[in-house]
Amino acid sequence: MEVEGKTIRDVAKNLIKEINDKVNTFGEYENFSTKFEVKGKDIREALEDLANKIVSYFEKKNAIFEELEIEVVPLKKWVLRIVAKGKVFEDVKKDFREVKISRLEESESGWKLEFSLN
């Protein structure tokens, strides 16, 4: 699978949207919001950690993220600070356990990320 964006923030949001599209939700829901951060030795690893953090929210809280504010902090390690809003459902079904990023490329027009859901 592949997502593109002009910035890393756009790529991250498009990645989460693609993941959400592969999840089925059931039952009543409640709104929720949360803040967290993920780190990686490079931006690819930070994005993969973000995607897998989202998957853990599906599994543990039956949560789907609808709005994301992402701050990219390039320190010794790359840090993504996330403020998210979404919905917690009675049940969530998905047929993958993790996200693997195979390639992240920067071009003149923006970023392209290739990934798989395993």
Per-residue pLDDT tens for 49-69?
999 999 999 999 999 999 999
pLDDT at 51: 96
**Interacting residues of 98 by C-beta distance below 8 A, sequence separation 6+:** 52, 55, 117, 118
Phi, psi at residue 99, to the nearest 5°?
Answer: -115, 130
**Interacting residues of 109 by C-beta distance below 8 A, sequence separation 6+:** 6
pLDDT at 46: 96
CATH code for the domain of 104 = 3.55.10.10
pLDDT at 74: 86
Tens of pLDDT, residue by residue over 82-98, are: 999 999 999 999 999 99
How far, rounded to the nearest angstrom, does the alpha carbon of residue 8 sit from its chain's CA centroid?
12
Residue 42 reports pLDDT greater than 90:
yes
Average pLDDT over residues 10-39: 96
Categorize the per-residue pLDDT at 76 as very low, low, confident or very high, splitting at 50, 70 and 90: confident
SS3 18: helix
How many domains does the chain fold into? 1
Residue 15 reports pLDDT greater than 90:
yes
* Average confidence score pLDDT of the chain: 95
pTM above 0.85, yes or no: yes
The residue segments making up the domain with residue 90 are 2-117
Q: Sheet harboring 24-40: ordered strands across? A: 24-40, 78-93, 63-74
